[in-house]
Amino acid sequence: MSEKRPPLTVLSEDEQAFKEAVRAFAEGEILPRRSKMDEEAKMDPQLVGQFFEMGLMGIETPEEYGGAGGSFTMACLAVEELGRVDGSCSVLVDVQNTLVTNALLKWANQDQKKKYLPKMASDTVGAYALSESGSGSDAFALKLKAEEKGDKFILNGHKLWITNANEAGLFLVFANVKPEDGYKGITAFLVEKGMPGFQVGKKEDKLGIRASSTCELMFENCEVPKENIIGELGKGYKIAIETLNEGRIGIGAQMLGIAQGAFEATVNYVKTREQFGKAIGQFQGVQFQIAEMRTQLETARLLVYNACRLKDAGHPFVEEAAIAKLASSRAAEKIASMTIDLFGGNGFTREYPAEKFWRDAKIGQIYEGTSNMQLQTIAKMELS
């Protein structure tokens, strides 16, 4: 018999108030900047400062370290509401909370927590550096090497497609200390911006989430103190797997937010766009499409919220996280595509938000585990 799951509940008063506060902030501060940031492919640095002021960069961080002392669910609610307005802002906050901070909370020692958690809650952006040119879905085919030398490790190699790289002051970097041992040699390091031999490279020119910085990282005899190893030597693969399992729920929340934003824009548009003497929302063909969009949206929401609740309750959630990410990323792309269809010619222009929602949604089926990898995870869990 499968383990009994706690029932999915509606949001508490505190969660709903928090969600509404983030929505108001996103509409008031991000929306006026959205088009410019997308066109220039650059995050407004003032916004990043406001994320910290709002307490959005350390949602789960305990109050003793300067954080909000909130839940994983609250972190995902913030990611959702930011995604409803702008996917780039959403993923910046997501990586900060569901990947880097989560890894520190679970794996860092007390000295590391005291040193880094207050910074990440107040003024330091974090980045998660796992991917390389030859290690995407095969995440552990790492070429970045770490060689022990006295009280330091010397890192040499490259990372690619690293989110938040331009804004980050702290990088969770995975390197191999014993390449001959394969994944058992992978170790996680905390690398600070400005460490000798470490440099952030070019920013990718992307289809969507353009204001989010996605960059190459270069390590050339980069010196990292031994005390900056997070977790145990050779246990980096475990940190990477478990952190990504949590991070997938965050991406699910981002996709949910994008889908919500696209859906709301569509409903507003079909109520006002007239053809043949009446609003197109009065035509049954359009109404059926709206109903399909709404159904996909709510299905994704229930799956994402359920995965959040399981994680917060300490229950197993790996399969549910994979299901949530798979379903929400598919829903976001489909809903955003239907948004363009219903906007017609206007949907194909940049004067309207439809095409941006679609561009931002596409990445959901690729990063933090492709849809095929989610299918593989789900199948393995069911057949094991």
SS3 content of the chain, % helix, strand, coil (to 5): 60, 15, 25
pLDDT tens per residue, range 99-109: 999 999 999 99
Residue 4 in any domain: the answer is no
Residue 215 in any domain: the answer is yes
Residues 369, 261 within the same domain:
yes
**pLDDT for res 138:** 85
Pair 279, 272: CB distance under 8 Å: yes
Of the three residues 95, 125, 155, the one that is the final residue of a domain is: 125
* The pairing of beta strand 168-176 with beta strand 125-129: parallel
Residues 304, 370 within the same domain:
yes
Residue 71 in any domain: the answer is yes
Residues 251, 274 within the same domain:
yes
**Residue indicated by tokens 């600070």:** 192
| Percentage, residues of the chain above pLDDT 90 | 95
Residue 192 in any domain: the answer is yes
pLDDT tens per residue, range 253-293: 999 999 999 999 999 999 999 999 999 999 999 999 999 99
Alpha helical stretches, state H, 95-215? 102-107, 110-122
CATH of the domain at 205: 2.40.110.10
Residue 199, pLDDT above cutoff 60: yes
Residues 134, 115 within the same domain:
no
Residue 3 in any domain: the answer is no
Taking residues 34-62, what's their average pLDDT?
98
Residue 1 in any domain: the answer is no
Of the three residues 80, 110, 125, the one that is the final residue of a domain is: 125
Residues 255, 360 within the same domain:
yes
Residue 1, pLDDT above cutoff 60: no
Reported as a pLDDT band with limits 50, 70 and 90, residue 333 is: very high
Reported as a pLDDT band with limits 50, 70 and 90, residue 66 is: very high
Q: Supply the residues annotated as catalytic.
A: 368
- Under DSSP, the state recorded for 352 is S
Residues 105, 190 within the same domain:
no
- The pair of structure tokens assigned to 264 is 């709301």
Residues 284, 302 within the same domain:
yes
Residue 7, pLDDT above cutoff 60: no
CATH of the domain at 86: 1.10.540.10
Taking residues 161-168, what's their average pLDDT?
98
- Mean pLDDT for all residues in the chain: 96
Residues 165, 60 within the same domain:
no
A 10 A CB-CB count for 354 gives 26
Reported as a pLDDT band with limits 50, 70 and 90, residue 139 is: confident
- pTM score of the predicted model: 0.96
Q: What CA–CA distance (Å, rounded) separates 155 from 146? A: 4
Task: From 328, 302, 159, 358, select the one nearest 248 (Cα to Cα).
Answer: 328
Pair 259, 292: CB distance under 8 Å: no
| Percentage, residues of the chain above pLDDT 70 | 98
Number of domains comprising the chain: 3
Residues 221, 257 within the same domain:
no
Task: From 92, 61, 65, select the one nearest 74 (Cα to Cα).
Answer: 61
**pLDDT for res 17:** 95
DSSP E strand boundaries for 105-197? 125-129, 145-149, 152-163, 168-176, 186-192
CATH of the domain at 378: 1.20.140.10
Residue 225 in any domain: the answer is yes
Q: Which domain holds residue 218?
A: 128-234
Reported as a pLDDT band with limits 50, 70 and 90, residue 135 is: confident
Residues 222, 280 within the same domain:
no
Reported as a pLDDT band with limits 50, 70 and 90, residue 161 is: very high
Residue 12, pLDDT above cutoff 80: yes
Reported as a pLDDT band with limits 50, 70 and 90, residue 2 is: very low
Of the three residues 125, 152, 176, the one that is the final residue of a domain is: 125
Residue 2 in any domain: the answer is no
